[in-house]
Chain A
Amino acid sequence: MNTGARIALATGVVAGLVVVGSVVFGGEGGRPESPTVAKGTRWTSAKQCKKCHAEVFAEWKGSHHQIAYQNPQVRELSDDFRNKECQACHLPRPVAVTGFGNRVLPRMTQPDEGVSCLTCHLAADGSIMGRRDLDGGCRPRRNEGYLSVGMCQSCHNQHKTTDEFRASHYAKNGGHCIDCHMPEVARGKGKGRGHEFLGAHDLATLRKAGKFEAGIEAGKLVLTLTNVGAGHNFPTEERHRAVDMDYRFVDGAGKASEWKRAYRFRNPYRDEPGPNTQLPADQSHSEQIAIPDGTAKAQVRLWYRLMPYASDDDPRSVLLFEREVAVQ
């Protein structure tokens, strides 16, 4: 390389650094701006958020969003994600990349983070989205799409849950998925939204969904489940999910019969016969059961099962309610 070329190269490198620097630090007056504004800043991991949002990070860590790509149950059901269809929502690129309400695409990075802070908060231009414009830290910008049900729809309508929600009175009255799944929590002197994403793995949330009643009418045991709290079907999402109304009778000597299922609320697998019996928002379903002679009382239970064939003593079965009804 001759001297002229070396000088040109060296000058070019310096000039290049200046140009890159002006892009990274925002240029005007040479004052470094927030990294969010800088094009060169890469938001690549939820760990970057932890520094300022330790409390939120702690809530998310261990949530079913965070473990979405390592949850053993999902791994088993998806044949270790060889069923590629599952990967997009369990290890997604940011929703905004493909657009709110559109399908997400799978990513390769940060597999431990599953559905991470960036999945929801990273805008298509690389900036951060939030509920309001703020000048500090990552400088979140308010974004209507981010605040819409479309944000959840990108993944949660694979199983029609947001369609179910839109058909409910909750949506018609201006409700949002976050009303139940990200309830307001105290944050320092103010309030924020919980990031544990409470749902089918949280007993209290499950119990709010259904009102389970048992009584005797016209000599029959009547069991009724009403979807009073879920803004979508109960159960919703995966076809594995099932809600069972079970009962047994106890005679005067205290001898109990076998537990029997009165009704199962579930959307069957594609190759299983039978209709979708999930219970839409605000609807009820009752079953009447003949009472055998000599019965002193009936015992009834409402189960939520993460897998349809999980037995009562399986940890994937959650007992929501248990009642006893005296039989005259």
Chain B
Amino acid sequence: MRFALTIVLLLAACSQAVPTEAKTRALPKVKLVPRLKELEAVVASGPKAPSKKRMAELRELLETAYVAGRASQRFAKMAKSDLLETEDAFWVFEDALEHENSLVRSNAAYELGKLGRVASLVPLIKRLKYEKDQQVLFWVVDALVKLGNHSGLPELLDLMHEPATAQNAAGLAQTVLTTAGLRLDGQATFGKLVREIRAVHRYWLEHGNPEGVAQDKLPKPSPLLDARIASRLVDLQGFQLRPVDDSRFILKRLGTLAVSRLAFAVQASENYLRQHSLEVLCDLGRPAAATYESVLPLLDDPLVGPRAAEALGALGNLDAAPYLLQRLDSPNLELAVAVAGALGPLGAKSALPRLSAIVADKSAEMDRRVYAAFSVALLDPGTRFLEQLRRSGKYHLQTLDELLDRIRER
């Protein structure tokens, strides 16, 4: 007992004499709170779809207007006009994004772009995930662009290479570039167009807002959008992974619009809601930088700590570097590996010596060495270690390929 007391006193003296990193960098306390019920309440209090009877009427108008051969041209035109005059037409167009007839799906996407309701981003982005028809896909991307969302530009680039959609897609690409303030002259090559669209998409990924659109013209959240975002967050807690994956896909492509709700959700006491919200932040990256304060305390969370580390790397706030460095040698290997892999994307140059030492340390776990090498390659270009390891066949090839791809993308 006396011995233990002596040790405690000595340790206290030591900590007074030499301020430790751990003391100066204590993590802010986290208080996990139930969030699910609150999110469900947001969903319940959001604007409601029209009644079943009303939706049936709207569907009838939609079918008459857009299903070829269903009515005479005159009636079809009248039905379309009637439909577009109704305030709640967007509900049936959103519904029609899953219509069996591809022409109806195309028209629905086109009209949703014109109607300009920001909440329609949610069903449109979901369509982006599943649509196989290139013509429909084009109109979905077109609608997203009109609603101020550039997350569909990779799909647009693919469509520019498809004979059936190349012309329309190139036209939309020109519109995107014009909005972004990049006017290409008539002599611009296809390659130049592609490069510029890639640059506009990079801007989207870095900012979560479309390039060239004035602040006051950016899409504004609406109660319906908020309810839909909340609904997607609620899905993250479920057992079946398909809805979880749908939600992750949608939330990460909403740019800055979902950020405040994600900051709310990462401090949920519901484990999967917390975990998957962090995963979305990992994908969203810099546009979600405002969530830094909410994510940081989760670094020592036994369940989601590794994802918090990864998210901190993606968010890009260098204030996170000391906290991450403290956990680089964590006995929790999953956390130590995630930290090693996060310091590179974070851009923490100060971590280079320690990361390089881990790469060189043959007694260190190979997972740590691999992810440290990944970060080193991002901070100080060079992929020798990973390439050599790949050739040796001593580590999971697909993981190495994925990391090398990510390095090249940067």
Contacts and interface: CB of A to CB of B under 8 A. Distances in A.
Given A105-B275, A110-B367, A8 B337 contact: no
Interface residues of A, number: 41
Contacts of B365: 44, 109
A328 interface: no
B396 A12 contact: no
B242 interface: yes
Interface string A2-44: 0011001101110110110000000000000000000010101
Interface string B395-406: 111110010000
Contacts of B6: 15
A111 B395 CA distance: 8
A3 to B, nearest CB: 11
A85 B337 contact: no
Chain B, interface size category, equals 35 or more
B274 to A, nearest CB: 11
B398 A12 contact: no
Contacts of A44: 333, 365
A229 to B, nearest CB: 27
Contacts of A8: 10, 13-14, 16-18
Contact of A98 (B13, B271, B399): B271
B139 interface: no
Interface string B4-17: 00110011011111
A9 B14 contact: yes
A69 interface: yes
A11 B14 contact: yes
B307 to A, nearest CB: 8
Interface string A36-55: 00001010100000000000
B399 A111 contact: yes
A75 interface: yes
B239 A103 contact: yes
Nearest to A88: B241
Contacts of A107: 334
Contacts, number: 91
A256 to B, nearest CB: 38
Contacts of B18: 1, 5, 8-9
Contacts of B338: 108
Contact of A105 (B240, B303, B331, B396): B303
A8 B20 CA distance: 13
B240 A12 contact: no
A70 B272 CA distance: 25
Contacts of B306: 108
Nearest to B6: A15
Contact of B303 (A69, A81, A98, A157): A98
A282 interface: no
A73 interface: no
A18 B8 CA distance: 11
Interface in B377-403: 395-399, 402
B248 interface: yes
B162 interface: no
Contacts of B240: 158
Interface string B86-117: 00000000000000000000000000000000
A172 interface: no
B371 interface: yes
A97 B14 CA distance: 36
B211 interface: no
24 contacts: A4-B17, A5-B18, A8-B14, A9-B14, A9-B17, A13-B14, A15-B11, A42-B331, A42-B333, A44-B333, A69-B396, A75-B398, A80-B398, A84-B245, A84-B248, A86-B241, A93-B334, A98-B271, A105-B275, A108-B337, A109-B333, A109-B337, A109-B367, A111-B399
Given A8-B14, A158-B240, 4 more contacts: A9-B14, A15-B7, A84-B248, A111-B399
